[in-house]
Amino acid sequence: MKAPDFGYVRPSTLAECLATLNEYGDEAQVLAGGQSLMPLMNFRLAKPGILVDIGGLPELATTRWETDHVVIGALTTHDTIATSDTIREQIPLLSDAAPHVAHVAIRSRGTIGGSIALADPAAEWPACCLALSAEIELASLRGGRRVPADEFFLGLYSTDRQADELVTGIRFPMLDDRRAHTFDEVSRRRGDFAIAGLALSCDLVGPKFKDIRVALLGVGDRPVLARGAMSVLEDAEPSDATTETAIEALSAELRPPDDPMYPPDYRRQVACVLLRRALNKLMG
């Protein structure tokens, strides 16, 4: 079993890569780590005319530290994120989520940029981006732009990236010590696609939740912010009653897909359990 025929391009500079995407548009498909694209090609669900292998652009695998942001290069592997001490220090939510990304042999090649560009609704990084108010950095011959994660994921495997654009990095705000995070997911076995997952980020100063962000994966056609639950929790004091109200709001707002393996009610139930666990963890 192998991919259908395609033309292979391995640009040696970013300019060459952007020129190639500009020339071929929709016909071109970017190959990063290939850990999602290769299965799709092996199954012939993806049939790119031109495969643009960006493995020759090591500058996309670096992490850039700005005054108040961290930009993780698109070609940074899941494993690099999982084992980075500086990421553990600055964006611990990513370190907590990384072990949930597939298996060790997949994490060694799969990349954060590939995961963001593919936008699988059950993937960990898109939900983390929502929870952390990250921005997606895109480049094209027309110039560069940044898109807030809230506006980037448009539907099932659908994003705001245009055909001539390359995801070059993910820009995360650097967070101070008051920020609390938690990530958890439920899957049938370790590394399998999540039935549901939850990424939460908030300030816990004094007795109240502030600037809380609750993002879920696996419960829709894209990663979703639980705006109902967030509005219950914002400025609320942590308590069992607050938790129950937030769970009711979450249950009411989720519209999980109907699939043969997991009925919507089951995914909704799992999501609610994850929110309860997350809030209990934050309350210690």
What is the DSSP pairing of strand 50-53 with strand 28-31? parallel
Give the whole-angstrom CA distance, residue 247 versus residue 274.
Answer: 10
Binding mask 160-189 for other proteins (x = CB under 8 A): -----------------------------x
Tell me which stretch binds other proteins (CB under 8 A): 62-70, 96-104, 116-124, 163-171.
Answer: 96-104
With H, G, I as helix, E, B as strand and everything else as coil, classify residue 66: coil
Among 63, 108, 245, 269, binds other proteins (CB under 8 A): 108
**Cα Rg for the chain, rounded, in angstroms?**
19
Site for other proteins, residues 28 to 57, rule: CB under 8 A: 31, 34-35, 38-39, 42-43, 50-51, 53, 55
**Total residues at interface with other proteins (CB under 8 A):** 39
> Least distance in Å: CB of 35 to other proteins?
6
Q: At what angle do helices 264-283 and 240-253 cross, to 10 degrees?
A: 150
Phi-psi category of residue 277: left, alpha or beta, with phi > 0 → left and psi -120 to 50 → alpha: alpha
Lateral strand order in the sheet of 224-225: 179-187, 194-205, 208-217, 224-225
105 near other proteins (CB under 8 A): yes
225 near other proteins (CB under 8 A): no
Question: For residues 4 and 155, which CB has a smaller minimum distance to other proteins in the complex?
Answer: 4
Q: Which two tokens stand for residue 129?
A: 């981006």
9 near other proteins (CB under 8 A): yes
> Least distance in Å: CB of 111 to other proteins?
13
264 contact partners, CB below 8 Å, separation of at least 6: 255, 256, 257, 258
277 near other proteins (CB under 8 A): no
Q: Which two tokens stand for residue 172?
A: 């995360």
> Least distance in Å: CB of 133 to other proteins?
30
Which positions lie near other proteins, rule CB under 8 A? 1-11, 15-16, 19-20, 23, 31, 34-35, 38-39, 42-43, 50-51, 53, 55, 79, 99, 102-106, 108-109, 189-191
